[in-house]
Structure 1
Amino acid sequence: MQSADAATFDEAYYRRYYFDKKTKVVDPQHAERLAAFVCSYLKYLRVPVRRVLDMGCGIGHWRDAIALHFPKASYHGVEFSEYLCERYGWERGSVVDYRARERFDLVICQGVLAYLEPSDLKRALRNLGSLSAGALYLEAVTQEDFEQDVVDEDLSDPRLFRHRAQVYRRGLTRGFKEMGGGVWLSRQAEVPTFALECTDA
């Protein structure tokens, strides 16, 4: 099975998973709570957030949250879907090989990596490390989530790859420290942390 191609993420895809009340997988209230947690945690850690990259920004749930919690930060949305780029004006790009002139203080990558086959996933995880100089928020469903019935398979896209959690952790460990809750701190960030705040301390 190959990574999902751009044609996967057409208008019908977003109508089903984002806009139709009966089948959508995104709850705006959940998105608000999640963003409040991530941004508050970064403030607690004293990670300076001036430049934000939303890698696979979808319909832009994080844009308003960043404006609320980090009003002086710039937000840059990058999206693989041609449909969304045309509709919302995002820059078109892929997490596998997207490049930027400067690194970002916060990189968000939510619901993207499970669409990648193993070799593309490995490249994407390495690329996230090259894009972030501060923090990363990563969300991706894993094989363990399916095994433990955390994922609603009736609503979830059947095209998702079921990579093990360890695959993601192994790919990120070189560039990041895992801080819990999906938050990862770049090893280049000059942010002191307590040993019990990090899973790999």
Structure 2
Amino acid sequence: MQSASEQWFDEAYYQRFYFDKKTSVIDVEHSRRLGAFVCSYLAYLRVPMARVLDIGCGIGLWKEAVSQHFPGVSYHGVELSSYLCERYGWEQGSVVDYRNAEPFDLVICQGVLPYLSATDLKLALDNIGRLSRGGLYVEAVSREDYDRGVIDEDLTDARLFRHRAALYRRGLEANFRELGGGVWLSERCEVPLFELECKQG
């Protein structure tokens, strides 16, 4: 199977999954709590913060949290959907091959990776390693989530790949340390961590 194409993410897609309250997968209050958690944790760890990349930024729900917790920080939204780029002014690009001259202090990648084939997923995880020099937040549903009944399949896009969690972890562990809660820290980030703050590989 091929990865999702740009044509999937048109106005009808966002109407269903974001704007229609009956079928939306977005809970604004949940997004606020999540943003507060990730930003507060990285601030607690004293990860230097000047540049943030939200890759697959959607309608930009992370922008408010980043601005609130890191005033003055540069937020850069990148999105595959030409519809959203035109509507919100994001830069068009893909997590698989997006490049920037300078790495970011925080990379956010929420709900994007399950749309990729295994081949493209590996490329994307390698690319995320290049893009981040600090924190990373990743949210991606795995096959285990479906097996355990955690996923509401009536609301979830049926076209998602059901990769195993180990596939994501293997790709990320080449460049990051897992801190829990979807938060990872780049091996290039020289902040001291206690042994029990990191998941052991």
Q: Please give the range of the TM-score, normalised by the shorter of the 2 chains.
A: over 0.9
Q: How much identity, in percent, do the aligned residues show?
A: 67
- AA in 1 matched with 2:94: S
**Residue 179, structure 1, aligned to residue 179, structure 2:** yes
Which aligned pairs between 1:1-201 and structure 2 lie closer than 5 A?
1-200=1-200
Aligned to 1:134, the other structure's residue is in SS state strand
Unmatched 5+ residue regions in structure 2?
A: none
Aligned to 1:135, the other structure's residue is in SS state strand
Aligned to 1:2, the other structure's residue is in SS state coil
Distance 2:43 2:83 in 1: 34
Distance 1:119 1:174 in 2: 16
Distance 1:75 1:167 in 2: 29
CA drift at 1:46: 0.8
CA drift at 1:17: 0.2
Aligned to 1:105, the other structure's residue is in SS state strand
Aligned length: 201
Aligned to 1:127, the other structure's residue is in SS state helix
Aligned to 1:71, the other structure's residue is in SS state coil
Aligned to 1:177, the other structure's residue is in SS state strand
Per-residue CA distance 1:19-49 (angstroms, 9 max, x = gap): 0000000000000000000001001111111
Runs of 4 or more, structure 1, over 4 Å off, are: none
CA drift at 1:53: 0.2
Per-residue CA distance 1:94-118 (angstroms, 9 max, x = gap): 0000000100000000000000000
Aligned to 1:95, the other structure's residue is in SS state coil
Per-residue CA distance 1:4-28 (angstroms, 9 max, x = gap): 0000000000000000000000000
Distance 1:166 1:45 in 2: 26
Aligned to 2:188, the other structure's residue is in SS state coil
Distance 2:124 2:195 in 1: 28
- AA in 1 matched with 2:130: S
CA drift at 1:200: 2.1
Distance 1:145 1:41 in 2: 25
- AA in 2 matched with 1:56: G
Distance 1:200 1:3 in 2: 31
CA drift at 1:81: 0.3
CA drift at 1:184: 0.3
The normalised TM-score by structure 2 is 0.99
The normalised TM-score by structure 1 is 0.99
> What is the alpha-carbon root mean square deviation over aligned residues?
0.7
Distance 1:169 1:152 in 2: 23
Unmatched 5+ residue regions in structure 1?
A: none
